[in-house]
Chains A and B, each alone.
With several copies, the nearest count.
Chain A
Amino acid sequence: MNDTHHHHHHGHAHGHDHSELSEIELRVRALESILVEKGYVDPAAVDALVETYETKVGPRNGAKVVAKAWADPAFRDRLLRDATAAIASLGFSGRQGEHMVAVENTPQEHNMVVCTLCSCYPWPVLGLPPVWYKSAPYRSRAVIDPRGVLAEFGVALPAATRIRVWDSTAEVRYLVVPMRPEGTEGWSEEELAALVTRDSMIGVGLPLRPGEARP
């Protein structure tokens, strides 16, 4: 176990030392060899699955959804009423997005999404979750100390803003629709989408403002 002196960093693969990485690498390799040899798994299917999530699905999908909701009031209404259908109409659907709900930030209420029990996340619109989303610090604190978590992301909301945390305990997946930044009147959906960060769609960040460089 982790007895390195004063080494209290846990739960991140990149925090592990080399010998442990080798251990898990060997374990995964062994598993793949067995599963392929037994014919349960087509290694080309594994390649295709990995390639899909590494290159084809990601938060630009969600940004298009949000930008359209900002630009098109009828789409926004459909999105808030039936997010699964509205998102599918843009071509995003399927695994880990079968039952979508979109929740809209307002000056009165800020939404934030977590999965305290595992790592539920809306893959078709956001891609795979980042390490921190799946790790104990976020999962443990989002429901009890969301302002403390937001502060670690550099977000300070007005004290009067209510914070609404959605714990994804079922197969429903939540997409936060952040508030449209000021100064974007008349912008195209493409221009708007460039302001929509992944963090803003989880609720741990705010969209970029006009002129603000993507971090």
Chain B
Amino acid sequence: MNGGQDLGGMMGFGPVQPEPDEPWFHADWERRALGLTLAMGATGQWNIDMSRAARESLHPAEYLSSSYYEIWTKGLEKLVLQQGLVTTDELKAGHALTPPKPVARVLKAESVPAALAKGSPAERPAAAPARFAAGDRVMTRVMHPAGHTRLPRYARGKRGTIERVHGAHVFPDSAAAGAGERPQWLYTVRFSGAELWGADADPSLAVSIDAWESYLEPA
């Protein structure tokens, strides 16, 4: 969706402001927000694409005025509500008021190192040969789906060159909708700055995105 998350090329946010000390966390609630988000992810009730879709569905004004751990927290609230794991009354009360729903897994402390080491690889066996090879010229689709997608607005309807072929990866547009992983070949596609931003672009600039096969057409 063309939500508040799709920031590439937007203006008006001011300078990048690195913090002098750059603490990992600025308050204890940020620690808990991180840990809860990862621990709930481990229950298997949703995938990473559903998590991103939940965050992106925040009202853009709220998305853009929230820190990232706030966005994670608000996204996590949406997910537990959507999945029926928690009720709005419970969020208001701050306590469980209804029996739990069964979940696939509960991450235990002793399993944390193994779970993090394993990660969640997105590569899957390919069902068909790759349509494109490195060096091929492609055109990204013009598309504005209401659901989740990983093709940013700035890179739609643009001509680029396939630079890397990564294998077949879980297709987020499908996985976020709960419609299955439907893996597709994933490519790094390189664009010139002028193609993306016009004649006034920095002439020394090239930008790449990672794009699933259905985002691309031969050009």
Contact = CB atoms under 8 A, between A and B. Distances in A.
Instruction: Find out whether A and B make contact in their complex, taking CB atoms under 8 A apart as touching.
Output: yes
Interface of A: 1-3, 5-6, 8, 10-14, 16, 21, 24-35, 37-42, 44-50, 52-54, 93-99, 101, 116-119, 127-128, 130-132, 134-147, 149, 152-153, 159-172
Contacts of A166: 188, 207-208
B8 A144 contact: yes
A165 B39 contact: no
A34 B94 contact: yes
B7 A52 contact: no
A62 to B, nearest CB: 15
A2 B18 contact: no
Given A13-B69, A42-B39, A165-B205, A137 B8 contact: no
B219 interface: no
B166 to A, nearest CB: 6
Contacts of A137: 13-17
A11 B186 contact: no
Nearest to A28: B29
Interface in B149-163: 150-152, 154-155
A74 B33 CA distance: 41
Interface in B60-83: 60-62, 64-70, 73, 76-77, 80
Nearest to B78: A6
Nearest to B59: A8
Nearest to A7: B62
